[in-house]
Amino acid sequence: MAFSVASSPAAVHGSSLSSSFEQPRAAQFGAFQQFDRPHLPPAAVGFSRRRCTVKALNAEPKRNDSIIPSAATLFAPEVVEKVEVEDYEKLAEELQNASPLEIMDKALEMFGNDIAIAFSGAEDVALIEYAHLTGRPFRVFSLDTGRLNPETYKCFDEVEKRYGIRIEYMFPDAAEVQALVRSKGLFSFYEDGHQECCRVRKVRPLRRALKGLRAWITGQRKDQSPGTRSEIPVVQVDPVFEGLDGGIGSLVKWNPVANMKSNDIWNFLRAMDVPVNSLHAQGYVSIGCEPCTRPVLPGQHEREGRWWWEDAKAKECGLHKGNIKEENLNGNGNGAVHANGSTIAPDLFTTQNVITLSRPGIENLLKLKDRKESWLVVLYAPWCQFCQAMEGSYVELAEKLAGSGVKVAKFKADEEEKAFAQQVLQLGSFPTILFFPKHSSPPIKYPSEKRDVDSLMAFVNALQ
């Protein structure tokens, strides 16, 4: 149901209303009851500590290709307000323990028509359900890359019918897609990385969409990617994209489910009987474009179903690249740290049953002509979410193999050791698991991506 915008002749600057505009109405964004609660004016913020002027809620967009409709632009009150970035840092602290419903309600209250939910057709349909439960009007947009699964398009249709909304689709520029495909083929990302294709099909359309907004709502969660999303606040100034007022710092990013676990999301979806992508029932967890998405296997992290052929250090398509931080290794080798020295990736497999191998140690293991025992060694990086995901399985395996004649070890193969590991130890991506048989045979690389205890044990037993 559309909602009315109150009007009066005094509200019109420089012109009078014709008879056809006696009862102007805003655009329809969701099937909801009459909306008569006043909005607070949205606050566009400056990056760092600078200040900026805040436009009124219904101020006209700067771009014709934004997803903001041009309706209801005649009644913008002359509101001038100044806000600092620290306001959103404080708000994030205040909402840290708030429920997703409360966070969603606050976001919609603050930004009204200038905020929209980013929907990918995966489990972030929970965002739409939370928005629906607030009773406020809301908007939803999605990026149609042209390469989504049929099941995803069907999910879009089901969601539209369930909530009585129209998803605002953003498409890539046809000329850019044509140039990319003609010059590099349909599957160049398998050879040179996914960033270029994502930039054309996702990032640039998203940038156009966000230029018409002052805030957006995402389904990011801290547990989705320990390497890049572990510090996501529930609300933040977007560090990458620009909003309606232009400039870095002009867009606010809301993450209402940041503190929820995957199980919590799914319990909520089942309880509310929400339509979900049928690919989830086939083992897909994180769902993107069809060529770049696959089901996850036992012992794998959910993001390992995306761009699986690449190094796992920064698996973001570009939509949330602000999550990726510069990392260094601290002096005692316990993990990656921020520039301010705070540890974000402690060492893995820290148990007495897993032996830590140094560079000389693994070189000696390679050279041994008569090994007395077999060795199982994982090549890992502490920041890698896929290594983090298999930690429990590997530690449990080490406990089961204790005293069996098979030594279980680890070798940190990132940073300065990565080139050596690639050239000598068959490292392709993290984690790589090697079995060193008794005697002098060369190491045998574990060929499967199933990293549960039973699969790893079967591998070891087959080579004993």
pLDDT means per 10 residues in the chain (464 residues)?
36 34 37 39 38 34 42 37 63 94 97 96 90 97 94 96 96 93 90 85 92 94 63 89 85 94 92 93 87 80 73 50 42 35 68 94 92 95 84 90 94 94 93 92 89 91 90
Q: Which pTM was predicted? A: 0.55
The boundaries of every CATH 3.40.50.620 domain in the chain are 26-323
Superfamily designation of domain 355-463 = Glutaredoxin (3.40.30.10)
Supply 25's token pair: 């109405």
Sort strands 168-170 and 115-118 into parallel, antiparallel or unpaired: unpaired
Its CATH architecture, for the domain 26-323, is: 3-Layer(aba) Sandwich (3.40)
The boundaries of every CATH 3.40.30.10 domain in the chain are 355-463
In sequence order, the 6+-apart residues with CB closer than 8 A to the CB of 242 are 207, 210, 211, 248, 250, 251
Residue 387 among the catalytic residues? yes
Residue 198 among the catalytic residues? no
The catalytically annotated residue of 52, 155, 198, 387 is 387
